[in-house]
Amino acid sequence: MVNFVLSALESNATLGLLGNVFSSPITDITSDARAVFYVSESQIKSIFRYQTDSFDTINDPDSDIKYYIDYMSFTNLELNPANAMLNVSEAAQAIATTDKLGNELAANKMLVAHDFLRHMAEDLFGTHLGVDLFNNEKQLIQNIRDVCGTASESSVMSVINAAVQKVSKQSTDTLTGLKGDANLKYMTNENTTNENLCRVLFNQMMGAASARFASIQDTQGEQALPFEVDDSVNFKLTIHPASGQKLLTRSAGDAEVANRSYEIRLVVVSDSDTARVNTAPAADEA
């Protein structure tokens, strides 16, 4: 066998089309304040995962990328936005950080529940120091935690949990783009709405930090979205006072007590970080 060569036929070809990927911009949240939870890197990576193992060269939204969310890992975070912190470096715009003598407020009195109570006092009495005029402070704080938690189906975390469960491995829904076997459900690019939560994060990460996908594992299994320490996942919470709250100091024709909105920021921290930990609610508020 002889391998003959015609060097005069050596050629070059340059593509006229760029390869591209799904990506989307990150829209900033507009809010009155920002409150924080810390989430470990292993926790966030156990929740949001994806798989790319396409066996073809055709764009098929039904099979090219699979997006997984583990609902149990999400609920293990035990989130209640009313307990997000406003006294850490990543937080912003707390109503107050010190008492009337200038002493720093205790960490377990610097959560969203306390901040909203100070906001109501400031609106009704002209100063956040008017909190003590409420004779049911503990009950008000508990009510804030209830409406932000899972006390009813319409409570904040009940609604959030339902949205996460709907597109999770454990989903029992029949929405567009949901595929897979029981307890191993996944979403696909067939569903391009915001309810496809893992896809939203994937596309935002691809747009803002695409270099993280430069070394995708050579595996047929699912893998974690490449979150890094100090990344964050954010959502907006708006708390409304009870109807008629203004009547405590104002008349029916006067302005309502204002709502207050919070950007709830889940900040990713190292698994070994012992300094950035979440503050537990105060025992005297139980």
Q: Is 175 among the domain residues?
A: yes
Q: Is 1 among the domain residues?
A: no
Contacts of 117 (CB under 8 A, 6+ apart): 131, 134, 137, 140, 141, 144
CA atoms within 13 A of residue 62's CA, in its CB half-sphere: 2
- Can you tell me which residue has the tokens 């959560």? 111
pTM: 0.92
Q: What is the number of domains present in the chain?
A: 1
Q: Which domain holds residue 121?
A: 29-285
Q: Is 278 among the domain residues?
A: yes
Task: List the pLDDT tens digit at each of the 286 positions of the chain.
Answer: 998 788 888 888 878 887 777 778 899 999 999 999 999 999 999 999 999 865 544 455 555 799 999 999 999 999 999 999 999 999 999 999 999 899 999 999 999 999 999 999 999 999 999 999 999 999 999 999 999 999 999 999 999 999 999 999 999 999 999 999 999 999 999 999 999 999 999 999 999 999 998 877 766 689 999 999 999 999 999 999 999 999 999 999 999 999 999 999 999 999 999 999 999 999 999 7
Q: Is 50 among the domain residues?
A: yes
Contact status, residue 128 vs residue 100, Cβ threshold 8 Å: no
Phi, psi (rounded to 5 degrees) for 265: -110, 120
Q: Cα 98 to the chain's mean position, in Å?
A: 28
Q: Is 8 among the domain residues?
A: no
Q: Is 13 among the domain residues?
A: no
The residue type at 72: M
Q: Is 227 among the domain residues?
A: yes
Q: How far is CA 241 from CA 86, 215, 238, in A?
A: 20, 49, 10
Q: Is 14 among the domain residues?
A: no
